[in-house]
Amino acid sequence: MEQSGFYGPYGGVFLPPELARVMENLARCFDQCTADPGFVRELDRLYRQYVGRPNPLYYAANLTEELGGGKIFLKREDLNHTGAHKINNTVGQALLARRLGMKRVIAETGAGQHGVAAATAAALFGLDCTVYMGEEDTRRQALNVYRMELLGAKVVPVTAGSKTLKEAVDAAIADLAANPHTYYMLGSAVGPHPYPTMVRYFQGVIGREAREQILLEEGRLPDYVVACVGGGSNAIGLFQAFLEDKEVKIVGVEPAGRGLASGKHAASLTLGKPGVIHGFRCYVLSDEEGNPLPAYSVAAGLDYPGVGPEHCALKDSGRGTYVTVTDREALAAFQLLSRREGIIPALESAHALAHACKIAPTLAREQTIIVNLSGRGDKDVDQVRCLLAGADLAVSR
Ligand SMILES: Cc1ncc(COP(=O)(O)O)c(C=O)c1O
């Protein structure tokens, strides 16, 4: 990364001066904290004692057997406290909020996982918490809305535009602009600098553990690391430990929704154009005038029209490959993992799994794939029940 928060031409800070100053202050605090051994020790303690790290790298023997070919390993972020990778970031940002003397935090959420993780960290640190959530997502993820409320957070449904994640981020930025003594706990590796760098740092624990675990288990690096990409935080969390290992193929999986040709997808890297959204430059799904288009995925946590700046640079350089998986393929992978391994994945994670299911049969037995199982699927069970009842998507045994 270059000095000013750019990854090649992507990233940066494209905000009015008052908000740009908030970002400068945050960047300074982040640099001071990460250079402070006491901060690093406290973060490590929270990861071990509160989040439940390290989580396992699990060899999915039944799935491997069923598909034939290379071995599939799952990085079990679903086993973290609150059920997803999002908590790695929120405990880190709660430490920053405390260091800045903030008493109130705000967050945006799509699937509700980041909202739950933010509300959890806020409860732990005694902070007042407001979560913005698109109204459409409050309906799809009603259980997570109630979880946030149980944790003491206020959930504000956002009714503008497509009523999903983009509008929730808009509302959080508007709140921050009106309330400078509020800490904005952003949930993915997106937004103005320093957020992509900070979220990368806090999620980096995923890749560090996975690298150590696969070397211990297999005595060699993986052939592939695969993760779903919404904003890109679980993916960059896993990928960063392998960026220098040129023999490891890095694959990010975007949601093709109902098909790329249908226009109902959220494949920003695959079909977007460089532009500015939410204060940073990245690939954006946009119309001829450059206005963001509504994004769609069966997985609420993936339907964002932009994407993290480092993924844009990895795509351009060719170090990362970005592919797509449809709703239908993700639902099939969701059912396959549930039945063959007894693990119900989040619909977001099922996208990464669906792509791994395509690669595995093309590999030799000694080759390996690490799939980031970014979250558990309890939050999606009701939605999947309705989808499978209403369409011919159920996988028969
Ligand atoms: C379980 C899970 N995985 C993945 C994502 C996508 O986010 P990101 O791309 O930042 O990892 C989300 C977002 O809500 C999520 O809840």
CATH number at residue 233: 3.40.50.1100
Q: Of 143, 160, 195, which closes a domain?
A: 195
Whether 233 contacts 189, CB under 8 Å: yes
Q: Which helix (H) or strand (E) holds 368?
A: strand 368-373
> Which pLDDT belongs to residue 393?
57
Do the bridges between strand 320-326 and strand 249-257 make them parallel or antiparallel, or are there none, so unpaired? parallel
Residues 72 and 126 in one domain: no
Pocket residues: Cβ below 6 A from ligand 1: 84, 110-111, 113-114, 188, 228-235, 301-302, 346, 348-349, 374-375
Asked about 166 being catalytic, the answer comes back as no
> Which pLDDT belongs to residue 390?
80
Asked about 108 being catalytic, the answer comes back as yes
397 lies in some domain? no
Distance CA 99, CA 226 (A): 35
Residues 211 and 309 in one domain: yes
Which residue has the least CA distance to atom 15 on ligand 1?
Answer: 301
The gap from C-alpha 277 to its chain's centroid, in whole angstroms, comes to: 17
Selected catalytic residue, list 75, 86, 163, 315: 86
Per-residue pLDDT of the chain (397 residues; tens, 9 = 90+): 545 799 999 999 999 999 999 999 999 999 999 999 999 999 999 999 999 999 999 999 999 999 999 999 999 999 999 999 999 999 999 999 999 999 999 999 988 999 999 999 999 999 999 999 999 889 888 889 999 999 999 999 999 998 989 999 999 999 999 998 999 999 999 999 999 999 999 999 999 999 999 999 999 999 999 999 999 999 999 999 999 999 999 999 999 999 999 999 999 999 999 999 999 999 999 999 989 999 999 999 999 999 999 999 999 999 999 999 999 999 999 999 999 999 999 999 999 999 999 999 999 999 999 999 999 999 999 999 999 998 645 544 3
Is the whole model's pTM more than 0.85, yes or no?
A: yes
Ligand 1 atom having least distance to the Cα of 109: 14
Residues 11 and 143 in one domain: yes
Residues 239 and 148 in one domain: no
Residues 239 and 184 in one domain: no
337 lies in some domain? yes
Ligand 1 center from residue 394 Cα (angstroms)? 24
Ligand 1 center from residue 364 Cα (angstroms)? 30
273 lies in some domain? yes
Residues 225 and 116 in one domain: no
338 lies in some domain? yes
Q: Of 151, 169, 195, which closes a domain?
A: 195
Residues 14 and 137 in one domain: yes
Boundaries of domain holding 336: 52-83+204-390
Report the number of distinct structural domains present in the chain: 2
> Which pLDDT belongs to residue 111?
82
Residues 223 and 357 in one domain: yes
Whether 357 contacts 347, CB under 8 Å: no
Residues 125 and 210 in one domain: no
> Which pLDDT belongs to residue 397?
37
Ligand 1 atom having least distance to the Cα of 84: 1
Residues 171 and 61 in one domain: no
Residues 335 and 257 in one domain: yes
The CB-side HSE value for 33 (13 A sphere, CA atoms) comes to 22
149 lies in some domain? yes
Residues 320 and 356 in one domain: yes
395 lies in some domain? no
